[in-house]
Each structure stands twice: as structure tokens, then as C-alpha cells.
Amino acid sequence: MAQVLEFKLPDLGEGLTEAEIVHWLVSVGDVVAVDQPVVEVETAKAMVEVPCPYGGVVTARYGEEGTELPVGAPLLTVAVGASAPPSPEAPVPGSGPASDPAQAPAAGSAPTPSPSPSSSGASSSASPAEAGGSGNVLVGYGTGAPVARRRRVRPPGDGLRTAPPAGPASPSGPSGPAGSAANGTAGPVAVVSPLVRRLAREHDLDLRTLSGSGRDGLILRCDVERAIREGVAASTAAPDAPAHRAPAPAAAPSTAARPAPEVSPLPPGATRVPLRGVRGAVADKLARSRREIPDATCWVDADATELLAARTAMNAAGEPKISLIALFARICTAALARHPELNATVDTAAREIVRLPEVHLGFAAQTDRGLVVPVVRDAHTRSAESLSAEFARLTEAGRTGTLTPRDLTGSTFTLNNYGVFGVDGSTPILNHPEAAMLGIGRIVPKPWVHQGELAVRQVVQLSLTFDHRVCDGGTAGGFLRRVADCVEQPAVLLRTL
């Protein structure tokens, strides 16, 4: 007899609370194997393929492509031990009362057993291992043990209670056991994601006036964005309406949703681009860095002619090719060994500088999805050849959108090669919570005094942006000078090997 198990969106790690469905890899009726990828989701960190911990027949999918789901929301259900695939496509949440497969099982599948409070990610009490789970662990979750997830806040009573849609207040109207939005009584709201709450708060939107499109009335980000758009459209649809609303009578309490902020009509051809996904995460991180870190920048021009000649000689020996960014990374880690103050972070709560023993080197990379900073772990232990291989791997993963959250977190120092854009210099914003970033400009032929004579040499501008809390200009200047000396005379690196 088939057993229908529910697979929920797992905790993808790094504090991520939601993900957007990018592409379904399976359809209802498909047979899936244990740990087979079933969906591609995009988080604020990366694009991730999520494997299913069960093997069987897919009986339901939840969410269309482009839908955002919170951690713990159902992704799909699998009939383990089913002999025939189901035929109808499962409805998406919010499309009708039968969106729960436990209440409306697909044709040809067994009735869904009652969920057990001790089960995790399944609609039966069987453990994933007993149901055919692999026991493997992907980012943030495992298939062989119950999943620890953030506890969903539920109102008193059975299930999540859905607030009524926004409407005129009725002072004499009835109210539910725990109160309702109509009478302004406080109570829990069916919201999981703190990002959804923040979005509503920023637009003065009362969540109790919304009807959630998620399962059990869960309010999703798309619900809040739709309410904001409708509020803006209502404020701009009537051209004859006064520019400002008349104030409400003093005796009438405010019980409906607070109106969205007044937004001026867009000029012809203008568009709005939501700050979400990777772009939104980058915006939040850069804004936080600028608010919290008192940064400063120093720079120097260096003659890179000898470094380029050394790279040419290394690559002519028939060994794996060494990239220029790998040589700069090798120089950078050698300089950090002499100036460990810059491989650090600031613990603002404890008012302490935390110096880090390992160098996990991030490098800024521009991709179709926006600016990302992949991380070369333990860069201080790698050779130039190993660094080249890891830079190449991470660059290709960024180009194809297959970087994992682990590939994008944990850096302690960042290289920023803006020379690839054809510019000489920059004053970048630090990659919070790091304390420093080395910038590399383009290498171009310039007149240069070499051995007492004017010559044309290959010159590069190097810049160091640093957190002035961790060190002063003397340390920053000493680090940058050490980098420049190694660029101009690569043999200097031999002293550090």
C-alpha cells in the first residue's frame, strides 16, 4: 500500500528564510529516486537544486515557477510504494479549498495518513530512513533525521487563521474568539518570513487585513507586494481625486489597513525594479557596510612588468596555466601573514577586534544575476596552481548560476579586480563584516622611471580599503607597500615560502 509523504522546503542554511521557485525538474506522475533533484530554487545567496529525500511517484507540487515559499512550506508529495502514477495536477496553494493533498489525494494514490507531530517534512509518522530516505545531508537539512526548523507562529485553535480582507470597519460587527482585524484586536498573524513582516512595516500595511495565498492562509511576500501595488494604483487611478485624503473623524478609530505611502506617477517609460534575490541581498549588505564601517582608502602605482614576465615563464613550462588573479591572491595572502590585523572583523556587541587564523579569500565577480563574492577557502595554504584551479571553478559556477550558499559565505578578505572593466582605480564598499579589500586596476603601458631611465613599463594601480577601527594608516600602508613590492619584484615572495 502506497504511503504519501510530504516534502517541505528545507532550511537552506545561512539564515535564509525563503526561496523562489525557478524551475521544476519533475511533474506530477513522474517517478523520482532518492536524492534526485526535483526543483531549482533561488535564495538571496545562490541558485540551488533541491533533492527529494524520498523515492516514489510525485502526487502533488506546490507553487508555480516564480512563487516565493517560506522555509517549511510544502514543496511536493511523493507516494512511496505506489504502483501507478497519479493523473491530475495538484492545485497550487490558494487556488481552491482542495489545495491540500491530505484532503484531496491524487487519483491512483493511497489516502494520506494523518500527520504525526514527531515527523519532519512528511505527512506520516515514518522516519525518512524508514520511508526510503537516503540519510544524506544537503545544505541545512538531512534525509535521515527530523529536520529542525523555525517554529511557525500559530493563533490559538486549529491551524492558521486567515484574517478577513481589508474593508470598512464595522463597530457593531461580530468578532471571532481571538478578535479580528475589523475591531483592531491584537493577535498572531499567519506570517512565517521576517522579510514579509518588514516589507509590510515599511509600507505601513496591516497584515491582519490580508488574505494569504499560502497554505492554511499563510501570508506570502507576493500577497504583501500585491496589496502595496493595489494601494498605489488606488491612489493614482482617479485623476480628479484630491491630492490629500481628508482626515478621518476623531471619534472613529482606525481599523482598516493603513494606506500605502503616496507615490508620484512614474514618467513615461519609467519602470520599477524590485530589490529582491541576489540584488536585494547585495543592496542590504552594502547599505549595512556603509552605515557601520568607518572605511578609508589608500593606493599606490606599481610596476607589474616583472610579474607579467614571471607568469609568462611559469605558463611556458607546460604545467597547468596560472592566472593573474591567482598570483595576486598569492601575494595578498603573503602580505596578510605579515599584517594579520587586516584579516579580521569587529564584534560590535563585545567591542572587540577578532583576528582570524585562516584566510578565506573572496573575490568580486559580476554575473548575470548581479554581483557575487565567491570564496576560496584556506587560500593561505594553497599554491598558485591550486588557487588558479579554484578561481576557475568558482568563476564558472557563478557564470552558470550553480554557486552554493557555502561558496558565497565566510570570506575574511576580498580581492576586487575592477581592472577587467577597463578602469584604473576605485574606492569600493567593504564586504561586511570584513575589515579590508584589495583593489586591482587595469595593467597598462605607461612611462615609468626604471633603473634611473625613462621607459615604458606595465603599470597597475593598487588600492586598499580598510576598516579604520582595526588598524591605522601605518598598518594599511605597510600592507599595501608589501603587495606592491611583491608585484614589482616577484622574487620577494620566495622569502615567505
Residues contacting 396, CB < 8 A, separation 6+? none
DSSP-derived pairing of the beta strands 413-417 and 436-450? parallel
Residue 36 has pLDDT above 60, yes or no: yes
Tell me, yes or no, whether 171 lies in a domain. no
User: Could you tell me the pLDDT band of residue 169, with boundaries at 50, 70 and 90?
Assistant: very low
Tell me, yes or no, whether 283 lies in a domain. yes
Domain edge (last residue) among 149, 178, 198 = 149
Lowest mean pLDDT: which of 76-80, 190-194, 284-288, 312-316? 190-194
Neighbours of 497 (CB within 10 A): 7
| pLDDT score of 370 | 75
Q: Are residues 204 and 73 in the same domain?
A: no
Q: Which residue has the higher pLDDT, 351 or 238?
A: 351
Summarised one tens digit per residue, pLDDT across range 190-246 is 655 666 777 788 788 888 888 888 766 778 878 888 888 887 666 555 544 444 444
Summarised one tens digit per residue, pLDDT across range 94-103 is 444 334 443 3
Find the Cα–Cα–Cα–Cα dihedral 271, 276, 280, 281, rounded to 10°. Answer: -170
Query: Residue 225 and residue 284: Cα distance in Å, rounded?
Result: 18
Q: Are residues 208 and 317 in the same domain?
A: no
| pLDDT score of 149 | 41
| pLDDT score of 374 | 94
Domain count within the chain: 3
Determine the length of the chain: 497
Q: Are residues 144 and 215 in the same domain?
A: no
Q: Whole domain around residue 291: which residue ranges?
A: 278-496
| pLDDT score of 441 | 96
Q: At what angle do helices 324-338 and 384-400 cross, to 10 degrees?
A: 120
Tell me, yes or no, whether 256 lies in a domain. no
Residues 374-396, mean pLDDT to the nearest whole number: 95
Q: At what angle do helices 473-488 and 324-338 cross, to 10 degrees?
A: 140
First to last CA, the chain: 65
Q: Are residues 100 and 202 in the same domain?
A: no
Assess contact for 437 and 430: CB atoms under 8 A. yes
Tell me, yes or no, whether 420 lies in a domain. yes
| pLDDT score of 492 | 85
Q: Are residues 375 and 473 in the same domain?
A: yes
The grid coordinates of residue 350 equal 563585545
Closest CA to 59 of 24, 25, 95, 88: 88
What separation in angstroms does the CA of 185 have from each of 255, 383, 435?
9, 64, 47
Assess contact for 56 and 110: CB atoms under 8 A. no
Tell me, yes or no, whether 178 lies in a domain. no
What separation in angstroms does the CA of 399 have from each of 167, 285, 393, 395, 457?
48, 22, 10, 6, 33
Q: Are residues 216 and 125 in the same domain?
A: no
Q: Are residues 370 and 431 in the same domain?
A: yes
Verify whether residue 360 is a known catalytic residue: no
Residues contacting 472, CB < 8 A, separation 6+? none
Q: Are residues 326 and 379 in the same domain?
A: yes
Assess contact for 355 and 341: CB atoms under 8 A. yes
Lowest mean pLDDT: which of 17-26, 139-148, 381-390? 139-148
pTM of the predicted structure, to 2 decimals? 0.56
CATH code of 296's domain? 3.30.559.10
Q: Are residues 206 and 285 in the same domain?
A: no
Residues contacting 452, CB < 8 A, separation 6+? none
Query: Residue 297 and residue 299: Cα distance in Å, rounded?
Result: 7
Q: Are residues 403 and 455 in the same domain?
A: yes
Tell me, yes or no, whether 217 lies in a domain. yes
Residue 107 has pLDDT above 50, yes or no: no
| pLDDT score of 434 | 96
Q: Which residue has the cell 575592477?
A: 418
Highest mean predicted confidence (pLDDT) among 143-147, 211-215, 403-407, 444-448: 444-448
User: Could you tell me the pLDDT band of residue 160, with boundaries at 50, 70 and 90?
Assistant: very low
Q: Are residues 210 and 287 in the same domain?
A: no
Q: Which residue has the cell 606595465?
A: 458
Residue 423 has pLDDT above 50, yes or no: yes
Summarised one tens digit per residue, pLDDT across range 117-142 is 333 344 443 444 444 555 444 443 44
Q: Which residue has the higher pLDDT, 394 or 193?
A: 394
Q: Which residue has the higher pLDDT, 347 or 213?
A: 347
| pLDDT score of 206 | 84
Domain edge (last residue) among 149, 169, 203 = 149
Closest CA to 361 of 440, 424, 470: 440
Tell me, yes or no, whether 258 lies in a domain. no
Q: Are residues 141 and 232 in the same domain?
A: no
Tell me, yes or no, whether 362 lies in a domain. yes
Query: Residue 464 and residue 168: Cα distance in Å, rounded?
Result: 58
Assess contact for 464 and 480: CB atoms under 8 A. yes
| pLDDT score of 465 | 97
List the catalytic residue out of 23, 339, 380, 468. Answer: 468
User: CA quadruple 8, 14, 20, 23: dihedral positive or negative?
Assistant: negative
